[in-house]
């Protein structure tokens, strides 16, 4: 794309869409005009990609969320247009950074599950693999987080307020979705997923829910205005908000509607394409298509697929079930019971009774199979899809799917040996591991241009951006003082940038010469932000007692959203901010340590935090984190891990060496040994440091607004048994952090640890993960566009 074409396109879209010239245009208008100009340029390649994929076998990714982040910068980089566009805008006296910053993060995802889906989509396009993404086009994301007087508050995440120039509405390919009590339309919005250094452009199809008619004219004419639009509102609720609160039956019904809406529309779309290609012969539908279920949220796809074949295409139940068994794969993302969905039979019956009938038929087939294998009644009950008036979605997914995979070696081993051991014994051939990965384009090439340029300079080319394993070539520089010094200069530059951004976003000044100790992730008790906070509070007291304590000046940075209904998680936010205030208001300590809780943690904020880090905190209870991908993003940005042997931390340490990271805490096997006799009160009674920090939760040191939330945190650790073993790991955490501080004094040694993490990060590319899915589960081949 020539610079003149960019200039002409921007001016044309400003005129057509907003009726303004460049000199009068607002930043969001320029953003939209520029995005549309680029979109226009790629349409032909995008259409060619879709047509070519439709001719062969395709995989389809079903996910409740896609945490995409901003599109403009990433798309320009992948197209090789970033520098040209920057020059054009500069010539027009426009700062490209301001145009990028005006873009809202797409409100389509929440945490690691959604970010993984986004990385997978980008990787599949980059390596020319025919993968289509399917999801919901939520009008509003999870929520925007603010911190007011230390408390988390939430408001709507209206990410579409400036429009969405990167999606195209495809009204002609709408689908009709029927519930027992209403019928709605699913309108597809297609978003291009642009690969790096390729003409392939994959598609993320997101469904928006709309009513069959805008309003009831007769009711409106009879002046019953609210009633006249009630069906419209109920339909739009289905795609209104990501993960609506499901604390009561109404919320649960809405969640179920969302899940069915997603899978029914997506399967009808796949069937539509199948019919256009081969007609009404459904014997080979699983030869041409495969569906990967991203966790249990889309598991209703299994009975809905069978329903569509049986009820609408005349296929026998037996043949439809056999097709399903080679049509679906299931990714398990967690061993936490709360995430292995179970739905009350009555709720499913209320919304889609025919689907419930099919689930019952699948359950009967499972029982038949188990009886043939001589399982007794008590054992069969463990496997049942319907038990205790609940539909167990994980059991449904495992029984029917061709493959079941975990997302890190440790996680998969726990599934096979413990959590899903009964299923593993039944179907050992189904179980696989696919260690998660991250796209090096967004998480290094885009967010850390300084480090990227340095790597390219050392390796002599940019091939590493598509072949991350080439980072191993940096190892030969591991003792080169000039290289190590330059790496640390870049790290400092990114810290300065992060400090500036935090000043802009939070109004808080932090010292880029201090040690940046960062924990950023979804807020959950098992991720143990509370353990980190308790450690910091203990450190505060030790500095008070001994102002000469020999530690580097340290800034502890937290970023996390707590679900609105998750009381304890929100209490932890308040506790962290109270510790931050205590330190800030104490002149004896304020110059030595600082705590910052950044608000509204999201992809665009993460792109500043990962490169600006000195230490990556990954401290979940061993055996609880399936994988983690934040740990990989830190590693790729040359940051050592401080963590437990949990999730992908295990493989990170295997790659970069335990000597280059800081590992502490109970291992899975240690917890197994002590879990039945564990007494958290013993640690409280025998360890004065633990007693001192825990007592602050109940002795008035901190103010929880008379909510009782701090006392509840106290009780969770002492009266309820400390189920995530914070107190057992407290001293081990403390000792390892002392080791960090001591090691950091030797700047050359520290630089070597950072560098070792960088050059050993290659295996954690999502390109590698996707290639493994393609080869070992999906059976799809590279399909480059000419």
Residue whose entry in the numeric block shows the structure tokens 């976003």: 505
The pLDDT of residue 495 is 98
Instruction: Give 691-743 as a DSSP string.
Output: HHHHHTTTSSSS--TTSSHHHHHHHHHHTS--TT-HHHHHHHHHHHHHHHHHH
**pLDDT (mean) for 456-482:** 98
Burial (CB < 10 A; 0-12, 13-18, 19+), residue 2, is exposed
Total number of residues shown for the chain:
786
Q: Is 527 a catalytic residue?
A: yes
For residue range 748-776, list pLDDT tens digits in order.
999 999 999 999 999 999 999 999 999 99
Strand partners, 456: none
Each residue of 53-79: b (16+ CB within 10 Å) or e? Answer: beeebbbbbbbbbbbbbbbbbbbbbbb
Q: Does the pLDDT of residue 141 top 90, yes or no?
A: yes
Question: Is 557 in a helix, a strand, or coil?
Answer: strand
Q: For all residues of the chain together, what is the average pLDDT?
A: 97
Q: Which entry of 434, 528, 633, 753 is annotated as an active-site residue? A: 633
Q: Does the pLDDT of residue 225 top 90, yes or no?
A: no
Residue of 526, 529, 521 whose CA lies nearest to 571: 529
Written as six digits, the tokens of 404 are: 């079941």
Written as six digits, the tokens of 720 are: 């309820």
Q: Does the pLDDT of residue 206 top 80, yes or no?
A: yes
Q: Which entry of 445, 527, 570, 617 is annotated as an active-site residue? A: 527
The pLDDT of residue 1 is 87
Task: Read off the DSSP letter of residue 241.
Answer: B
Q: State what percent of residues in the chain have pLDDT above 90.
A: 96
The distance of Cα 655 from the centroid of its chain, to the nearest Å, equals 23
The pLDDT of residue 239 is 97
For residue range 56-108, list pLDDT tens digits in order.
999 999 999 999 999 999 999 999 999 999 999 999 999 999 999 999 999 99
pTM: 0.97
Which phi and psi (to 5°) does residue 676 adopt?
A: -80, -20
Which secondary-structure segment (H or E) carries 560? none
**pLDDT (mean) for 448-461:** 98
Q: Does the pLDDT of residue 247 top 90, yes or no?
A: no
The pLDDT of residue 160 is 96
Q: Is 629 a catalytic residue?
A: yes
Q: Which entry of 274, 442, 521, 608 is annotated as an active-site residue? A: 521
Question: What is the rounded CA–CA span in Å between residue 536 and residue 449?
Answer: 33
The pLDDT of residue 337 is 72
Q: Is 522 a catalytic residue?
A: yes
Q: Does the pLDDT of residue 339 top 80, yes or no?
A: no
Contact yes or no for 332/295 (Cβ under 8 A): yes
Helix residue spans in 507-644 (DSSP H):
529-545, 567-584, 603-609, 630-636
Question: What is the rounded CA–CA span in Å between residue 327 and residue 280?
Answer: 17
Q: Does the pLDDT of residue 458 top 80, yes or no?
A: yes
Question: What is the rounded CA–CA span in Å between residue 406 and residue 47?
Answer: 34
The pLDDT of residue 786 is 83
Q: Is 333 a catalytic residue?
A: yes
Contact yes or no for 569/523 (Cβ under 8 A): yes
Q: Does the pLDDT of residue 474 top 90, yes or no?
A: yes
Q: Which entry of 466, 522, 524, 570 is annotated as an active-site residue? A: 522
Residue of 454, 347, 393 whose CA lies nearest to 758: 454
Distances (CA, A) of 16 to 33, 94, 206, 298: 9, 20, 26, 40
Q: Which domains does the chain have, with CATH numbers?
A: 56-71+106-436+771-778 (3.40.50.2000), 480-666+677-764 (3.40.50.2000)
Q: State what percent of residues in the chain have pLDDT above 70.
A: 100
With vertex at residue 294, the alpha carbon angle to CA 292 and CA 300, rounded to the nearest 5 degrees, is 80
Q: Which entry of 333, 430, 441, 494 is annotated as an active-site residue? A: 333
For residue range 651-668, list pLDDT tens digits in order.
999 999 999 999 999 999
The pLDDT of residue 85 is 96
Q: Does the pLDDT of residue 566 top 90, yes or no?
A: yes
Q: Is 274 a catalytic residue?
A: no
Contact yes or no for 43/24 (Cβ under 8 A): no
**pLDDT (mean) for 503-514:** 98
Binned at pLDDT 50, 70 and 90, residue 216 comes out as confident
The pLDDT of residue 732 is 98
Q: Which entry of 439, 629, 641, 644 is annotated as an active-site residue? A: 629
Written as six digits, the tokens of 645 are: 């042997």
Binned at pLDDT 50, 70 and 90, residue 623 comes out as very high
Q: Is 21 a catalytic residue?
A: no
């Amino acid at each position: 794309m020539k610079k003149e074409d960019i200039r002409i396109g921007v001016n044309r879209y400003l005129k057509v869409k907003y009726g303004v010239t460049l000199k009068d245009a607002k930043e969001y208008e320029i953003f939209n005009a520029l995005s549309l100009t680029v979109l226009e340029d790629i349409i032909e390649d995008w259409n060619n990609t879709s047509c070519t994929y439709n001719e062969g076998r395709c995989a389809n990714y079903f996910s409740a969320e896609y945490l995409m982040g901003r599109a403009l910068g990433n798309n320009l980089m992948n197209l090789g247009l970033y520098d040209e566009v920057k020059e054009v805008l500069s010539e027009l006296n426009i700062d490209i950074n301001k145009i990028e910053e005006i873009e809202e993060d797409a409100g389509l995802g929440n945490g690691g599950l959604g970010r993984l889906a986004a990385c997978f989509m980008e990787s599949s396009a980059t390596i020319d693999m025919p993968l289509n993404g399917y999801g919901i086009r939520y009008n509003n994301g999870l929520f925007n987080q603010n911190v007011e007087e230390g408390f988390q508050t939430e408001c709507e995440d209206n990410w579409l307020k400036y429009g969405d120039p990167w999606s195209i509405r495809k009204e002609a390919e709408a689908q009709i979705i029927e519930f027992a009590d209403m019928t709605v339309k699913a309108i597809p919005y297609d978003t291009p997923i642009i690969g790096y250094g390729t003409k392939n452009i994959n598609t993320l199809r997101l469904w928006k829910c709309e009513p069959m008619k805008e309003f009831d004219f007769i009711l409106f004419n009879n002046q019953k205005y609210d009633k006249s639009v009630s069906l419209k509102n109920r339909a739009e609720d289905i795609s209104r908000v990501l993960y609506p609160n499901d604390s009561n039956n109404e919320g649960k019904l809405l969640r179920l509607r969302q899940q069915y809406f997603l899978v029914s529309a997506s399967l009808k779309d796949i069937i539509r394409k199948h019919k256009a290609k081969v007609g009404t012969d459904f014997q080979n539908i699983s030869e041409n298509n495969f569906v990967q279920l991203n966790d249990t949220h889309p598991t209703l796809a299994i009975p809905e697929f069978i329903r569509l074949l049986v009820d609408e295409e005349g296929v026998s139940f037996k043949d439809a079930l056999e097709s399903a068994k080679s049509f679906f794969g299931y990714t398990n993302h967690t061993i936490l019971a709360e995430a292995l969905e179970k739905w009350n039979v009555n709720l499913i019956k209320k919304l889609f009774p025919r689907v419930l009938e099919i689930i019952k038929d699948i359950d009967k087939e499972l029982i038949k199979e188990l009886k043939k294998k001589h399982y007794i009644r008590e054992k069969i009950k463990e496997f049942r899809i319907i038990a205790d008036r609940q539909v167990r979605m994980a059991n449904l997914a495992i029984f029917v799917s061709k493959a079941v995979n975990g997302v890190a070696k440790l996680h998969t081993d726990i599934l096979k040996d413990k959590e899903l051991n009964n299923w593993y014994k039944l179907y050992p051939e189904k179980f696989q591991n696919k260690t998660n990965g991250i796209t090096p384009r967004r998480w290094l090439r885009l967010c850390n241009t300084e480090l990227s340029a340095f790597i390219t300079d050392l390796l002599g080319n940019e091939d590493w951006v598509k072949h991350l394993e080439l980072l191993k070539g940096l190892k030969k520089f591991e003792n080169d003082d000039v290289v190590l010094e330059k790496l640390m200069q870049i790290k400092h530059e990114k810290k300065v940038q992060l400090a500036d951004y935090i000043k802009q976003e939070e109004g808080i000044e932090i010292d880029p010469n201090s040690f940046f100790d960062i924990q950023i992730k979804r807020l959950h008790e098992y991720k143990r932000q509370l353990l980190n906070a308790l450690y910091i509070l203990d450190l505060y007291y030790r500095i008070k007692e001994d102002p000469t304590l020999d530690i580097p000046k340290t800034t502890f940075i937290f970023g996390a959203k707590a679900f609105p209904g998750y009381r304890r998680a929100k209490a932890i936010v308040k506790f962290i901010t109270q510790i931050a205030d205590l330190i800030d208001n104490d002149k004896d300590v304020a110059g030595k340590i600082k705590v910052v809780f950044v608000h509204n943690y999201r992809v665009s904020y993460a792109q500043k935090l990962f490169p600006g880090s000195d230490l990556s905190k990954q401290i979940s209870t061993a055996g609880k984190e399936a994988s983690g991908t934040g740990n990989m993003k830190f590693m790729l940005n040359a940051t050592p891990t401080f963590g437990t042997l949990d999730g992908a931390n295990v493989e990170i340490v295997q790659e970069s060496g335990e000597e280059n990271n800081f590992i502490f805490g109970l291992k899975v096997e240690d917890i197994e040994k002590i879990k039945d006799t564990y007494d958290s009160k013993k640690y409280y009674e025998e360890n004065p440091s633990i007693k001192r920090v825990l007592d602050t939760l109940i002795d008035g040191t901190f103010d929880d607004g008379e909510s009782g939330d701090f006392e509840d945190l106290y009780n969770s650790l002492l009266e309820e048994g400390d189920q995530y073993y914070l107190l057992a790991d407290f001293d081990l955490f403390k000792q390892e952090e002392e080791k960090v501080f001591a090691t950091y004094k030797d700047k050359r040694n520290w630089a070597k640890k950072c560098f070792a993490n960088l050059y050993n990060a290659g295996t954690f590319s999502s390109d590698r993960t996707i290639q493994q899915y393609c080869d070992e589960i999906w059976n799809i081949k590279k399909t480059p566009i000419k």
